[in-house]
Amino acid sequence: MLDRRNRSAGASQTSHDDLVDHLVRSSPLNRGEASRVVLDVLAYFDETTEEFVRRRHRELQSAGLTNADIFERIATELPHRAVAPPALSLRQLRRIVYG
């Protein structure tokens, strides 16, 4: 994800100046901090379904949840993403993580 963030940094910097300006005016963030926030948010929403599933699996696994609970939770979280992906079965979620 760092590569994607770095790739989009130059393009996002100029095309999102109005959003950075708004954050500077409406929050205690300085311009550099606001730019980083915008780039982080863009990178978060640029995450593919597969990347999201793998990341959430790692996060929930490190929190001690079992795979059964993890895949159920991911299945309930997916429809609430900014651009909801197609419905995926628990089997499809497992295949994303384990191939």
Q: What is the pLDDT of residues 56-91, one digit of tens each?
A: 999 999 999 999 999 999 999 999 887 777 889 999
- 27-49: average pLDDT: 93
The predicted structure's pLDDT at residue 7 = 42
Determine the pLDDT at residue 5: 42
Q: What angle do CA 36, 40, 41 make, to 5 degrees?
A: 120
Show contacts of 79-84: CB within 8 Å, 24+ apart: 81/49, 81/52, 82/45, 83/45
Range 49-57 average pLDDT: 95
